[in-house]
Amino acid sequence: DQQVKQNSPSLSVQEGRISILNCDYTNSMFDYFLWYKKYPAEGPTFLISISSIKDKNEDGRFTVFLNKSAKHLSLHIVPSQPGDSAVYFCAASGVTGGGNKLTFGTGTQLKVEL
């Protein structure tokens, strides 16, 4: 069963506009969430994280929102830049819900167009 879901396999956004990437999870024991960016032939690069005690975390152009009641999180990138074009993975973990291993979504391919 897919405990972390990214239902949009791809997203295309114009440079300068907002990119919104979505992620849903089913395991209520998850309490820590991360977003990673991955370029081809490279390992995932950490972007931003959020603990379940918060509903928002911001770092520069990146903001992650967490809606625990809906079991939904989103990553906002503002403004989007061509270098943001990559695959974005949502990941979750829970000390009491599977330990420290990360459960990943299948990724969303973001393309930022000029």
Which residue among 7, 46, 78, 113 contacts other proteins (CB under 8 A)? Answer: 46
38 token code pair: 């991955």
Q: Answer yes or no whether residue 96 interacts with other proteins by CB under 8 A.
A: no
Residue 81 in tokens: 């830049």
Residues 92, 32 contacting (CB under 8 angstroms): yes
Count of residues that interact with other proteins, criterion CB under 8 A: 26
Exactly one of 13, 66, 77, 102 binds other proteins (CB under 8 A); which one?
102
Positions in 63-92 near other proteins (CB under 8 A): 89, 91
**35 part of the interface to other proteins, by CB under 8 A:** no
Calculate the dihedral angle through the C-alpha atoms of 9, 13, 19, 22, rounding to the nearest 10 degrees: -20
In terms of C-beta density within 10 A (0-12 exposed, 13-18 middle, 19 or more buried), how is residue 89 classed?
Answer: buried
Exposure of 86 in the CB half-sphere (CA atoms within 13 A): 20
Residue 4 in contact with other proteins, rule: CB under 8 A? yes
Q: Is 108 in the site for other proteins (CB under 8 A)?
A: no
- Subset of 5-34 contacting other proteins (CB under 8 A): 31-32, 34
Q: Where does this chain bind other proteins (CB under 8 A)?
A: 4, 31-32, 34, 36, 41-46, 49, 51, 89, 91, 93, 95, 99-107
